[in-house]
Amino acid sequence: MTVLDVQTISKRDGVTVVPPPTDYAEVSPGWREVEHRARLDVPGALAGAWEGAPGSVRIPSWPYHEVCVLLRGRVAIEDAEGGRREFGAGESFLVPAGFDGWWHTLEATEKIFVGIPGGAR
């Protein structure tokens, strides 16, 4: 490996992916998201830049441990019991694999994310 193998993570780089709404248990009207994924050769792992418009998705079992670094915007994570936490630009958080709840994009948001494979804790 050389410095030429180092990848830039931004919405201008990577493989552009628009996850289908069928990836989620529930999707609010108007939900829109785009991922710009880095090229990884690690089964089940993801990393990249993400951008989304206001809306919500329900994920009954988060598929991986996800580290999020918000660059712009505001989101809320809500668990199945109604507990809720909000995060804004400049904040970072980890959603554990197996988390049961909602992702709410409260305003247009951009984040850097890393999905790490692993079972629910």
pLDDT for 23 equals 92
Q: What is the pLDDT of residue 47?
A: 97
Which fold does the domain 3-116 belong to in CATH?
Jelly Rolls (2.60.120)
How high is the pLDDT of residue 118?
Answer: 85
CA dihedral 94, 98, 99, 103 (to 10 degrees): 80
DSSP element (H, E) containing 65? strand 65-79
pLDDT at residue 120 in the model: 56
pLDDT band at 80 (very low <50, low <70, confident <90, very high): very high
Q: How far apart are CA 93 and CA 81, in angstroms?
A: 20
pLDDT at position 121 over 60: no
- Three-state SS string across 109-121, please? EEEEEEEECCCCC
Mean pLDDT across the stretch 77-83? 97
CA neighbor of 34 nearest in space, from 118, 108, 121, 93: 108
Which residue, among 4, 74, 66, has the nearest Cα to 39 in the 3D structure? 4
